[in-house]
Structure 1
Amino acid sequence: MTSTRRPATGRRAAVLRREAVLATVPVAVAALLAAAGPATAGTIGQSGVGDPYFPSAGNGGYHVRHYGLTLRYDTTSRHLDGTAVLSARATQRLARFDLDLNGLKVTRLTVDGAAARFSRDGQELVVTPRHALRKGQNFRVTVTYNGTPKPVTDPDGSHDGWIPTDDGAFVAGEPQGAMTWFPANNHPRDKSSYDFTLTVPKGRTAIANGVFLGERTAHGRTTFRWRQSEPMAAYLATATVGKFKVERYTTRDGIQVYNAVDPREASAAAPVLKKLPSVLEWESRLFGPYPFRAAGSVVDRAPDVGFALETQTRPLYDSAPDLSTLVHESAHQWFGDSVSLTSWKDIWLNEGFATYAEWLYSEQHGGDSAQKSFDTLYAKPAGHELWAYPPGNPGSGANIFGTPVYARGAMALHELRKAVGDRVFVRILRTWATEHRGVHGTTAQFVRLAERESGKNLDGLFHTWLYTKGKPDKA
């Protein structure tokens, strides 16, 4: 997700379980948003960006440059009070536009300080500003809201978003859950910087993305401040709350690490989290420089969740992770977080890459070779779930976290490695992470890059391993 969603929710096969202020976003992102989905009519921002698997996700007509989120959460009543300030730019003339927000009550909404009309239509918060916005105009939307946030149910039956725990909340938003706790342009195509101000009862810790700016306790409550300066998709944001033991340090590469661990998971998590700096160093040598200023982990005890998620800079684990899961979620910081999806259909670009990172780590640290991992999977019979659908076209949102996306996606990369050789293969991975750093990518772009770097026609290889139904024949 991407994440390491475990078999308890059907999101990963057992074979995969051993494997967890204002930033400037390139103009190309705004252009992409303006072109997304069918053409909009007149001055109404499109509801949804036209994603084939999540057609209601995201919104057209504007790009959010920055979110300022101020939240107050009561862990006893599970009540959330929020104010979201969205700094945005219109990509077309707008008399009306939508935000994604699910289930919370909006009490006030302004556009550039003037009260605006708003209404609710399912997950859409429909906003009509007092005056139409010009194309190219920068504007600010302030939304005040409250309620008891609840997770959404995904097409595969699992939950994501604001998930209550016995001491707070596990906040993991892939693919739809960001809208359960703040109004958003909720699609990976729209990436923004973030500031978080999170107030919780004294004794609880509130963890978000990016650099930790400090905390202050007064009147029985503690306020935590965080800043994520590098562009981030809304689904990768978190505001996880609980009782945590906190560890902070800076790596020799200057990365600020913040680990928060539920005390009940501390002894099991410690030996794995100790390896985080070395894992990031290894991945940096392979994929290029680490793309963010901060790193870390949040290890919660959330037995009803059943997955881990690569929340940007600070992956979330529902229990103490094993080393393969740590490698997987850390690799997502390059593949999925820094380089983001243009469409959920291309989810293999996240999960196949992170899974193959596990194989490479094992190969280079005394475990099974990538070839052995490939052969073990290929031995699965034709009726096995591994071959149920092609990873480059999973078919629906219900399949995006299934075994083919992870395992067969990794197998496609291994076939590419064999076809081009190790030196060129590593160059392809590094170039992909470098050329698309902070923005987006598609499968077609990756195929063109691989052909450019290798000088080979690879259409047949990718067609076989990404788009062919059933078990492919070996080359």
Structure 2
Amino acid sequence: MPRRSLLAALLLAVLGSGAAQVAPAVSAVPPVSSLPAGFSVPAGAGDSIYPALGTPGLDVTHYDLSIRSDPRIDTLSGQAVLNITALSDLNQIALDFAGPTTSEVLLNDQVARFAQVGEKLLILPSTPLKAGTRFTLGVTYQGTPALHLDLGLRLGWITQDDASYTYSEPDAAHTYFPCNDLPADGASFTLHLDVPAGYTAVASGVQTGQHSQNGRTVTDFDLPQETATYALGIQVGRLDVVTRPRAGNVALRDAFPTDTPPSVRAPFARVADMLSVLTGWFGPYPFAVYGVALTHDPQLLALETATLSTFPAREQGEEVGLHELAHQWFGDSVRLGDWSDVWLNEGFATYAELLWAEHLGQDSRSLLRRWYTALMRQAARPLVATAAPQLFDSTSYQRGALTLHVLRLKIGDASFRRVLQQYAASYAGRSARTADFLNVVREVSGQTAVDALQPWVSSPSLPPLPRILKKVLART
């Protein structure tokens, strides 16, 4: 997820030290006010933070997206084919879609009646779909992606400075393609990106093909692992694609704007070393390829878009790149079952920074002190969030990381490694919640380990440091 930046700090200064680090999302799409005859108001999937998003009766298993764009104008045309399984009887199909105007919907290749209202695309099947039915939806659309603001940033499909890119966490993928826009419903992706000559398109997954015709180039990508919709990464621009030597079975490739100086590229040159360190703790890297894509957006925060993390084209430390790489395990492979459990993403990626520091021979005590001091300055809460403004605060990052360190001190490095690897392997390509992680801890190390974590997970106040950690931090 985006690491907290100067922009977030400025918001905190304005809102107060106990305030949220994420401003409420704003959409230019009006809410549902009236529906055509035959349609009904859709129910959301019931996520704790975004209850209106998603549909409880849908399991989208695959998205095939054909997107035609031009980085010189803020419009696109798209065709999305969704493979879906009905989880319950469906009289109406509801997708999240606040994006360009829909012109046609095909249900199993037959024209279907639809209504695009608010941030939903509603489709009426000719006969109700029974639970267990597998079907396809084809959606054709064209226009300007919907405006969606969060933390002072535009989210979704962004076009500016002769480039386009996606940046959708937490809730903006549906501004440019129809989807079930919750991480609990992950899916695989096939992409066909059609861009003008002189521009390059890169995306999440492995490039599988490319052809040029009539002044345009179509590049194809395949991401077979089930991934959250917000984590889909696409970059279109005048790019320098750099291929690095493979790291074991992992292909490495980066995409930099052609004018990116060496000093900005430098922190990403050690990805192979980072992969080696993190696989030692987390287990095998869950995808076939990894790299970074940079954009000139001056306000951008780093984001763990799957297999192709998104970064601003400015100088930054290695720990930022390490943080987003760790999310490939925790966030992109192991997905959230509910946004309230976002610490399972951010706390794990933050703790990876300490693992990297240890590998470099650095003293981790200053990092632990900094985390705890930051938490003492903020209003405390349990790890599980209850509102959107809490998603990316210090609790999700630093308290989540300290929770893992408390576990490590309690059970030792060998058992801690087994916990991380069993959790990553058991929930690869699946969604998980806090209770799922605690169950893994219990399976590996017993109930006493879970009991040691409970104050850090559940207490509304900040727990005191364990005695052993106090001793460690007291050493000079």
Same fold, TM exceeding 0.5? yes
Q: Displacement, 1:95?
A: 1.7
Distance 1:65 1:44, change over 3 A: farther
Q: Say if 2:374 is the partner of 1:405.
A: no
**Matches of 2:317 and 2:356 in 1, distance apart?**
13
**CA contact under 8 A between 2:196 and 2:216: conserved in structure 1?**
yes
Which amino acid in structure 2 is aligned with residue 69 of structure 1?
L
Q: Say if 2:423 is the partner of 1:427.
A: no
Q: Say if 2:87 is the partner of 1:96.
A: no
Deviates more, 1:177-186 or 1:86-95: 86-95
**Matches of 2:412 and 2:381 in 1, distance apart?**
24
**Matches of 1:88 and 1:179 in 2, distance apart?**
16
Distance 1:397 1:167, change over 3 A: same
- For the residue of structure 2 that corresponds to 1:136, the secondary structure is coil
Which amino acid in structure 2 is aligned with residue 133 of structure 1?
L
- For the residue of structure 2 that corresponds to 1:265, the secondary structure is coil
Paired residue for 2:312, among 297, 302, 318? Answer: 318
Paired residue for 1:251, among 246, 251, 254? Answer: 246
**CA contact under 8 A between 2:381 and 2:462: conserved in structure 1?**
no
**CA contact under 8 A between 1:391 and 1:405: conserved in structure 2?**
no
**CA contact under 8 A between 1:170 and 1:302: conserved in structure 2?**
no
Distance 1:474 1:322, change over 3 A: closer
**Matches of 1:174 and 1:324 in 2, distance apart?**
20
* Aligned residues with identical type, % of pairs: 33
Q: Displacement, 1:228?
A: 0.5
Distance 1:295 1:391, change over 3 A: farther
Q: Match of 1:396? A: 387
- For the residue of structure 2 that corresponds to 1:309, the secondary structure is coil
Q: Displacement, 1:460?
A: 4.2
Q: Say if 2:6 is the partner of 1:7.
A: yes
> TM-score, normalising length from structure 1?
0.88
Paired residue for 1:145, among 103, 120, 141? Answer: 141
**CA contact under 8 A between 1:264 and 1:301: conserved in structure 2?**
no
**Matches of 2:312 and 2:76 in 1, distance apart?**
22
Q: Displacement, 1:113?
A: 1.2
**CA contact under 8 A between 2:372 and 2:398: conserved in structure 1?**
no
**CA contact under 8 A between 1:44 and 1:95: conserved in structure 2?**
no
- For the residue of structure 2 that corresponds to 1:264, the secondary structure is coil
**CA contact under 8 A between 2:65 and 2:81: conserved in structure 1?**
yes
Divergent runs of 4+, >4 A: 10-14, 43-46
**CA contact under 8 A between 1:151 and 1:163: conserved in structure 2?**
no
Distance 1:45 1:122, change over 3 A: closer
Distance 1:104 1:338, change over 3 A: same
- Give the count of matched residue pairs: 440
Q: Match of 1:79? A: 75
**Matches of 1:13 and 1:284 in 2, distance apart?**
35
Paired residue for 2:291, among 296, 303, 314? Answer: 296
**CA contact under 8 A between 2:7 and 2:299: conserved in structure 1?**
no
C-alpha offsets along residues 110-131 of structure 1, whole Å, 9 cap, x if unaligned? Answer: 1011111111231111111222
**CA contact under 8 A between 1:64 and 1:192: conserved in structure 2?**
yes
5 Å matches for 1:365-380?
365-369=360-364, 371-380=365-374
**CA contact under 8 A between 2:146 and 2:175: conserved in structure 1?**
yes
Unaligned ranges ≥5, structure 2: 14-38, 467-476
Paired residue for 1:470, among 427, 438, 461? Answer: 461
Which amino acid in structure 1 is aligned with residue 148 of structure 2?
V
Q: Displacement, 1:12?
A: 11
Q: Say if 2:66 is the partner of 1:70.
A: yes
Which amino acid in structure 2 is aligned with residue 368 of structure 1?
D
**Matches of 2:206 and 2:342 in 1, distance apart?**
27
**CA contact under 8 A between 1:199 and 1:223: conserved in structure 2?**
yes
Which amino acid in structure 2 is aligned with residue 245 of structure 1?
D
- For the residue of structure 2 that corresponds to 1:271, the secondary structure is helix
**CA contact under 8 A between 1:82 and 1:146: conserved in structure 2?**
yes
5 Å matches for 1:186-201?
186-201=181-196
CA RMSD of aligned residues (A): 2.2
- For the residue of structure 1 that corresponds to 2:249, the secondary structure is coil
- For the residue of structure 1 that corresponds to 2:404, the secondary structure is helix
Q: Match of 1:358? A: 353
- For the residue of structure 2 that corresponds to 1:141, the secondary structure is strand
Q: Match of 1:32? A: none
Q: Match of 2:228? A: 233
C-alpha offsets along residues 332-365 of structure 1, whole Å, 9 cap, x if unaligned? Answer: 1111111110001100000000000001110121
> TM-score, normalising length from structure 2?
0.88
Which amino acid in structure 2 is aligned with residue 427 of structure 1?
R
Which amino acid in structure 2 is aligned with residue 442 of structure 1?
R
**Matches of 2:147 and 2:450 in 1, distance apart?**
40
Q: Match of 1:29? A: none
Q: Displacement, 1:390?
A: 2.5
Q: Displacement, 1:252?
A: 4.3
**CA contact under 8 A between 1:46 and 1:60: conserved in structure 2?**
no
**CA contact under 8 A between 2:282 and 2:329: conserved in structure 1?**
yes
**CA contact under 8 A between 1:11 and 1:401: conserved in structure 2?**
no
- For the residue of structure 1 that corresponds to 2:357, the secondary structure is helix
Q: Displacement, 1:436?
A: 1.0
Q: Match of 2:302? A: 308
**Matches of 1:12 and 1:363 in 2, distance apart?**
32
Q: Displacement, 1:250?
A: 5.0
Q: Say if 2:436 is the partner of 1:445.
A: yes
Distance 1:81 1:381, change over 3 A: closer
Unaligned ranges ≥5, structure 1: 15-42
Which amino acid in structure 2 is aligned with residue 162 of structure 1?
W
